[in-house]
Structures are given as structure tokens and as C-alpha cells.
Amino acid sequence: MASNKKLLVLPGDGIGPEVMAQVARVAEWFDRKRAIGFDLEEDLVGGAAIDAHGTPLADATMDKALAADAVLLGAVGGPKWDDLPFEQKPERGLLRLRKEMALFANLRPALCFAPLVEASTLKPEVVSGLDLMIVRELTGGVYFGEPRGIETLSDGQRRGVNTQVYTTEEIRRVAAVAFELARKRANKLCSVEKANVMESGVLWREEVTRLHGESYLDVELSHMYADNCAMQLVRAPKQFDVIVTDNLFGDMLSDAAAMLTGSLGMLPSASLGAADETGRRRALYEPVHGSAPDIAGRGKANPLACVLSFAMLLRYSLDQGAEADLLENAVEVVLASGKRTPDILQPGHEAVSTEAMGDAVLAELDRLGG
Ligand code: NAD
């Protein structure tokens, strides 16, 4: 019998614990009904860890994250900790996890659920059926490149410097993740840079093209400049299947793509590291949204971004694509039934609480797959 999967659950701050409580129920359902055994261990991150341990991520928690099959995180931060120095803020806990787990590939799907088509600011025909994935390089590029800083010049002016830098290996490893993903989807990859004006973009394009020729000729590869990609995402987003791009362009394009689908409360994400010799990758799953202090503790948070992050965990860390489909289908049916948390409520729908949304997903799981 397969051994249980070790999941480290870090609910964090604000609405984090509320939405994660619903995910814990969903995980328990899969454990009980579908024989995917989980050992869930919960720990502190962010402000909650600062309050308990004086640090946003204790070393012991970091060790558990490194040993886990996957980490699920709610959200960190809140006004209580806003005045702390930068190095001690709740967000540093998340950054430490990303850094020490070496999570270089950030996966941000933009999936437009049919019942939410009206929630997008774009025309229904532009977004209906949308299902694209942006793979953003997460640990290199201009956010980390050296030299960096602000200096004062001899004439008294100040100069700010950041450096866009990528190596062959950094490009190849994130491109490989994107090619592999494309193979499991519609088999199309669009690589995005600005090779027209940046040498790092020229290198990016050459290395992605070389890797394609070496190992992924079955995947349809195209290239696009980042500014054009921004336009195409709002003009005709359904032309894309998987997009791979660098840290800076990915930061912006993934936010733009995410908003095609409507609400922050619906957006999951995954961050993956390198595969070890057994094929296992370090992985962190989290909703895109923050700790939403304005609604925390009031039963108003939408748990679906976190639930859908768990679906990504099933698909990418446990290779349980059919189970992930089951969970995503359950979410879609619940939305179609008109049950909505306040963030996605439209006239004629039934307003439900965070927990009632969890109830509805579980009831649908029972109906579809119990
Ligand atoms: P936020 O994502 O927390 O909230 C933005 C808006 O969206 C708020 O009005 C909030 O009520 C709403 N919202 C967010 N998630 C929702 C959900 N699941 N259901 C319903 N409504 C939801 O962003 P913010 O207000 O800019 O930041 C609040 C705190 O969260 C800050 O301390 C910030 O640093 C932190 N933050 C953390 C993360 C993270 O943990 N990954 C990400 C972003 C912000």
C-alpha cells in the first residue's frame, strides 16, 4: 500500500486559517473516500509565528517544509505587524520558504469557470472557456540580479540600478517545467521575453529554442515579445495554453491574466522546485490573495482559491490528475448552483459563508465521487 503523503499546512494570518479550515475538510474527504492517504501537520507562519516565536518562520518549521511532500500556505501579514522592520515582517516567512525550498517555477492558472463568466471585466465571448497557465521564473532575473542599489553620482544626482540577468541553466529548468506542463494540457507553449531590446531576452529565446529541439519537438513552441503578450492577453487570451516567461514579465502578465477570470478569491497558485532523483519536486501551494484583514474573522472569505490550490497539489505533487479534476468539477457545480461568497455574489445568487461554501463543496464531492 502506498505510504501517506506528508503535507505541511501553514494557515498563517487573517483569513488564512478560515480558508485553510475548509481545505483541511476537503483533504480529509479525499483521505476517507478516495484512499489518498494524507498526514497533515499544521504549523505557524507569518504574524502568527512572530507572536509565538518572535520570527516569521521558525527553523523547525522550515525543516518540516523541506521534508514534506508538499506545503500548503494560507496567507501572511496584517496591520498588527505593519510597523516591524522589513527583515522581521510576516512576508519574510514566505520569502524564506520560497528561497530555501528553491522554488524557481511559479504556476498561475487563469481558468474561467463558466458560472463566473459575467464576473470578468472582459466580454463573455473573450473569456468563456479560458484555460491558460502562466509559468513565471521566480528566483532569478531583475529582482535578484547584481549589481543593484542606489548611488549618488559625483554631480550630486542619484542613480538606481537593477540588473536583469539569466544563465542557461536558469532558463532551461523553468522552460522544462513549462514544456512538461504543456504536454499534459493542449501541447502549446509560448515563450515570452523582449529579445528585440534585451540581450537576456535573446539568450532566453535561444535557450528555449535549443531545449525544444533537444527534448520537446512534440510541443508546439512559439515566441512573443512581452508587450505584445500583454495586449494579446486582453485581446484574445484563448490563443494561449502555457506561457513561460521571466520573473519581471511574469509578475505583471500573471496578474493581468488572473484578472481575466474575475475575483481574487478564486485564484490558486503553485511554486515548484527542482525534481530530485525520485522525481519528487519541492512544492508550495497557496492562493494568490493575501490575508484580507478587512474581512478576517467574519465568515466572508472565499475559500475556493485555497481549495483550488489543493487541487493543484493533487495534480502536480501527487500526480492525481483525475482527483484534481473531480475537485475542480465540484467547485464549478457549486458555483453553477448559485452559492456564492460575498466577493463573487451577483444578483439572484445565494450568499453563503466561508464554512457553508466548504459544506457545499463537500456535498458536491459526495455526489460526484463519494
Ligand atoms: P488581499 O489580497 O489580502 O486583499 C485585497 C482585497 O481582496 C480585500 O478587499 C480583500 O477583502 C479581498 N479578498 C482577498 N482575498 C479574498 C477572499 N479569499 N475572499 C474574499 N475577498 C478576498 O491584499 P491586501 O489587502 O493588499 O493585503 C492584506 C495583507 O495581506 C497585507 O498584510 C499584505 O502584505 C498581505 N499579503 C499577503 C500575501 C500572501 O500571503 N501571499 C499576498 C498579498 C498580500
Domain match, 168 and 249 both: yes
The pairing of beta strand 105-111 with beta strand 268-275 = antiparallel
Domain match, 171 and 59 both: no
* Final residue before a domain boundary, out of 260, 280, 300: 260
Q: Which residue has the cell 460526484?
A: 368
227 is catalytic: yes
For the chain, the maximum distance between any two Cα atoms, rounded to a whole number of angstroms, is 73
Domain match, 237 and 156 both: yes
Q: Which pLDDT tens digit goes with each residue over 117-133?
A: 988 889 999 999 999 99
| In the chain, % of residues over pLDDT 90 | 87
**Ligand 1 near 76 CB (within 6 A):** yes
**Residue 154 belongs to a domain with what CATH number?**
3.40.718.10
Q: In a 3-state reduction of DSSP, which class is residue 13?
A: coil
**Ligand 1 near 302 CB (within 6 A):** yes
Domain that holds residue 318: 1-108+267-370
From 27, 17, 1, 19, select the one nearest 317 (Cα to Cα). Answer: 27
Residue 109 pLDDT > 70, yes or no? yes
DSSP string, 290-322: ---TTTTTTT----HHHHHHHHHHHHHTS--HH
Domain match, 286 and 360 both: yes
Residue 262 pLDDT > 80, yes or no? no
Question: 41 in a domain, yes or no?
Answer: yes
Lowest average pLDDT, out of 52-66, 115-129, 204-218, 242-256, goes to 115-129
Distance 258 CA to ligand 1 centre (A): 14
Output the pLDDT for position 120: 85
Strand partners, 42: 9
Domain match, 140 and 253 both: yes
Catalytic residue among 59, 218, 255, 319: 255
Distance 311 CA to ligand 1 centre (A): 21
What is the rounded distance in angstroms from the CA atom of residue 16 to the CA atom of residue 238? 32
Q: How confident is the model at residue 2 (pLDDT cuts 50, 70, 90)?
A: low
What is the rounded distance in angstroms from the CA atom of residue 296 to the CA atom of residue 77? 12
Residue 370 pLDDT > 80, yes or no? no
Q: In a 3-state reduction of DSSP, which class is residue 40?
A: strand
Q: How confident is the model at residue 264 (pLDDT cuts 50, 70, 90)?
A: confident
Are 1 and 36 in contact by the 8 Å Cβ rule? The answer is no
Q: Which atom of ligand 1 is nearest to the CA of 19?
A: 18
- What's the whole-model pTM score? 0.93
What is the rounded distance in angstroms from the CA atom of residue 369 to the CA atom of residue 194? 46
Output the pLDDT for position 121: 86
* Final residue before a domain boundary, out of 260, 277, 302: 260
Catalytic residue among 39, 63, 82, 227: 227
Sign (positive or negative) of CA dihedral 49, 11, 256, 314: positive
In the chain, the amino acid numbered 275 is: A
Domain match, 198 and 293 both: no
What is the rounded distance in angstroms from the CA atom of residue 248 to the CA atom of residue 30? 37
Tell me how many domains the chain contains. 2
- Cα 276 to its chain centre, rounded Å, is 21
194 is catalytic: yes
Q: Which residue has the cell 466548504?
A: 358
Domain match, 256 and 332 both: no
How far apart are the two ends of the chain, measured CA to CA in Å? 21
83 is catalytic: no
From 175, 181, 218, 115, select the one nearest 321 (Cα to Cα). Answer: 181
Distance 290 CA to ligand 1 centre (A): 3
**Ligand 1 near 289 CB (within 6 A):** yes
Domain match, 52 and 24 both: yes
Higher-pLDDT residue of 303 and 113 is 303
**Ligand 1 near 264 CB (within 6 A):** yes
Q: Which pLDDT tens digit goes with each residue over 248-261?
A: 999 999 989 988 88
**Ligand 1 near 294 CB (within 6 A):** yes
Residue 3 pLDDT > 80, yes or no? no
What is the rounded distance in angstroms from the CA atom of residue 257 to the CA atom of residue 239? 13
From 226, 214, 146, select the one nearest 175 (Cα to Cα). Answer: 214
